[in-house]
Amino acid sequence: MRPTLLFLLGSLALAQGFLASTPLGRAEGRWEDGAIAFYGLPYAEAGRFQAPRPLKVWPPGVGREKVACPQAFGITAAFGSPIPEEREECLVLNIFLPQALPPPEGFPVMVYLHGGGFGSGSAGEPLYGGHHLAAQGVVVVVPNYRLGPLGFLALPALAREDPKAVGNYALLDLLEALRFVQGYIRYFGGDPGNVTLFGESAGGMLVCTLLATPEARGLFHRAILQSGGCGYVRPLEGDFPKGEAWARARGCPPEDLGCLRALPLDRLLPRLSPLSLQDLDLGGRISDFLESPFKPHLSPLLPEDPRQVLARGGARGIPLIAGANLEELDLPALRGLWGPGSWGEFQARLEAELPKEKAQALLQGYRARFSSPALAYGALETDRILLCPSLKAARLQAPHAPAYAYLFTYRVPGLGGLGAFHGLELAPLFGHLRVPPFLPLFLTQEAYEGARRLGERMRRYWTSFAKEGEPRGWPRWPLYREGYLLLLDEPPGLLPDPYEERCGVLEALGLL
């Protein structure tokens, strides 16, 4: 028998209520912004530094509370996005439904993974409300996952305790969230046989990680990677010394898991500046992010680098959209402040992170393309961290499934000096143009209307891909193997694939 959806009509003085009845219990939703929203639905439970366990029953009254996982001060807070109440029992998800009866097979499902450098963010941020996507005839699911050391700590003692879970608690969280979708999304009108996984920044990196995770096979059927990449996984044993240093900085011997599990959160995740490397609370700088041990780890759960998996067809048959923003890590108006003032400084910055011969090769390649070292450095950071890794995902998947690529080039009218920066596409995509952190950008009518039109276009592409496996709209979005990217802008267009020009040197040096 098909699951039933029960409506509770409230008085006109209150928001109308919506009740979903599931084997776990009843969830209380609300009519909100053109959709039906459920917040804080538990999908699993877990002790600290332990694998999650699926729930068997919900407490009464779930569905109306936003929750965040504990986090140190990081990228999300630095940019002003509101974080809900943090608590360690945070393995919950939010669901957004169309205000319509589902078709017999159920609505397609889109599961979104938030960003935040693997260390911050929440499904409950206002920006990630799936209301406008749901209005296009899909069910949107946004899960929390454990962050920073709570999600990714690698220690020998934890490896002895659970070799599969160590260093990958957050990855296991997301597997449980996807299993929840398979088991229960029908009770919300969704089709578990048609699930699209999408995410941005660290969320996009997790999408690619899950493409390569054997246990995730069959839990989703299409993927969208926004400003991410597939190479952001760490060697488990290589991160043991960093994990041990982190434990000692908390005042616990690395082998004393009882001590670590008993620490109060304010000692486990102190509120440090995002520009500090103190105690390995890695946060705001690009180099901090690259060095951070708090990322997915190669382990029995994730046996291979995701790039190798995609290259050999390990995610065969899963259509993919992948793309990035034109100026991810390069705010044009601020180049003079943080960009190198000379080509010598450009090279010195690179040699601080890379072998000398690779730094010199990058200097030669980017000096040939750009007139100033500041301009070249911003392009290089965008290329090597986010843009080229995202396009490489499409290149690796294209022989094995339909793959599409995009470049987001939209600049806010009147604020063009900000460029098409990292995360900007989220505001039009989700349609929340006047909520933090992007509220100040869209206060003028011109800026609001341009982003609104672009958002409508993006949602058509994203949701048609979720429904059919092909992003439909105008202009036609060609397959990546046809040699073009979709240009997401107002007006939109097509762009010859820039991979060889922008990414060729990085590829040749083994940096992708």
Q: Where are the beta strands (DSSP E) in 333-383?
A: none
pLDDT value of position 505: 97
Query: Taking residues 216-241, what's their average pLDDT?
Result: 97
Q: Quote the tokens at residue 56.
A: 């068997």
Q: pLDDT tens, 370-407? A: 999 999 999 999 999 999 999 999 999 999 999 999 99
Which is the catalytic residue, given 81, 120, 201, 292? 201
Query: Taking residues 332-354, what's their average pLDDT?
Result: 91
Q: Virtual CA dihedral for 127, 128, 134, 135, nearest 10 degrees?
A: 0
Using omega within 30 degrees of 0 as the cis cutoff, is the peptide bond preceding 84 cis? no
Partners of residue 223 on adjacent β-strands = 197, 320
Mean pLDDT of the chain: 93
Q: Over 50: is that where the pLDDT of 181 sits?
A: yes
Q: pLDDT tens, 198-220? A: 999 999 999 999 999 999 999 99
Angstrom distance (rounded) from CA 247 to CA 120: 20
Query: Taking residues 262-272, what's their average pLDDT?
Result: 86
Helix (H) or strand (E) holding 133: helix 131-134
Which is the catalytic residue, given 131, 132, 297, 422? 422
What b/e string do you get for 53-81 counting C-beta neighbours within 10 Å, with b at 16 or more?
eebeebeeebbeebbbbbbbbbbbbeeeb
3-state secondary structure (DSSP) of residue 406: strand
Whole-number Cα distances in Å, 198 to 135, 206, 272, 436, 488: 17, 9, 30, 21, 17
Angstrom distance (rounded) from CA 411 to CA 424: 9
Q: Kindly indicate the confidence band of residue 335, based on its pLDDT and cuts at 50, 70 and 90.
A: confident
Of residues 201 and 15, more confidence is placed in 201
Cβ(231)–Cβ(391) below 8 Å: no
Active-site residue 201, yes or no? Answer: yes
For β-strands 35-42 and 92-98, DSSP reports them as antiparallel
CB neighbours of 312 closer than 8 A, spacing ≥ 6? none
Q: pLDDT tens, 107-119? A: 999 999 999 999 9
If one counts every other C-beta atom within 10 angstroms of the C-beta of residue 281, the result is 24
Cβ(107)–Cβ(189) below 8 Å: yes
Domain ranges in the chain? 17-509
CATH 3.40.50.720 for domain 17-509, yes or no, is no
Query: Taking residues 279-304, what's their average pLDDT?
Result: 78
Angstrom distance (rounded) from CA 451 to CA 132: 14
DSSP letters, 178-208, are HHHHHHHGGGGTEEEEEEEEEEETHHHHHHH
Which is the catalytic residue, given 28, 125, 328, 381? 328
Q: Kindly indicate the confidence band of residue 331, based on its pLDDT and cuts at 50, 70 and 90.
A: confident
Angstrom distance (rounded) from CA 226 to CA 456: 17
CA angle 278, 282, 286 (to 5 degrees): 125
Q: pLDDT tens, 50-83? A: 999 999 999 998 999 999 999 988 777 777 889 9
Q: Over 50: is that where the pLDDT of 282 sits?
A: no
Angstrom distance (rounded) from CA 207 to CA 224: 7
